Amino acid sequence: MSAPAPSPVPASASGRAWDVHRLQSAEGRTFRAWDVHRLPSAEGRTFLVTGGNAGIGCFVAEQLAATGADVVVAGRTAARAEAAMAAIRIRYPAARLRHCLLDLADLAALERSVRELGPVRLDAVVLNAGVALDDPPRRETADGHEAMFGTNHLGHFALTHRLAPLLAPAARVVTVGSFAARSERLDLDDLQSLRDYRPKRAYGRSKLAQTLFALELDRRLRAAGSGVRSVVAHPGGALDSLTPARPGVHGGAAGRRLLGAPAGLVLQGKEAGAWPMVRAVLDPAVRGGQVWGPRVFGLRGEPKLERPQAHYTDRATAARLWAASARLTGVHA
């Protein structure tokens, strides 16, 4: 890792300062209102971002690195991680970054990935990586699981178990949810989409499974008296065409941005899409079991606390999913 750490993210060009009103945490402590353009310092803390080498994950890693924290970019290839870290260092030359090989579609490799982290204490883990919705045919992971469910949910389920000994006493596990989970329901008798595979539905269900897991994890942590908090955050509607350029990672071609301009009225780019996850990691007022998303219709804007959808908090479904996930991954936590 390089040193020294960079300064916190500077104020916007307009010089907008912190809002004057204040927020209170569950413990009664008072904090300044959140400002995405003035992040607090996180020097001395270590964060791991799965899929931090591309897309929203890269912007999460960039914004966390700007706070002075040590950021582990976890991804499948060293080359893509190096490109992402180089892009981040263009903006923040003193960013403290390192790469960890991680393939969530290969459960047997997860233990090796965690060993490679070494004796590190993690203050937050952002569970971001996964198979995106691009209308793929049904595929399977190295373990024979449907790719989206197996990577997005089962991979993170097993990884979280293996990372548990590395988590700081008050660490946060931030699961990246999706707007797509709102309209889906799990079929607990067909989690692998063997009977009826439809890409859009399979993706939405995989993100719903992640959300159910995250909220169930928080309930179990609290029942065990743990100070670790599990939080869900989602990016809303984040489009490539509205995303700023990052050399070697995201092109941000002018023509594509122009075509995406009308969508900017209701959607946003991936830089803004990262804001809810970054707040879930850094804001002292965030509590376990919460869901955070963009302010405007859950699709764009600064992050705010959301009321969870009713099916997100279905404890019976979450318990059955947990048991099935433990069986499918061989993890009994």
CA distance 110 to 74: 11
- 254 - beta bridge partners? none
- What single-letter amino acid sits at 25? S
Exactly one of 92, 197, 203, 312 is catalytic; name it: 203
Residue 203 bears catalytic tag: yes
Report the alpha-carbon distance of residue 208 to residue 117 in Å, rounded: 29
- Local structure of 301: helix, strand or coil: strand
Find where tokens 């099916």 sit.
311
* Cα(56)–Cα(77) distance, integer angstroms: 17
Question: How far is 172 from 164, CA to CA, in rounded Å?
Answer: 11
Give the sheet arrangement for strand 96-101, strand by strand. Answer: 96-101, 70-75, 46-50, 122-127, 167-176, 229-233, 291-296, 300-306
Q: What is the set of active-site residues?
A: 203
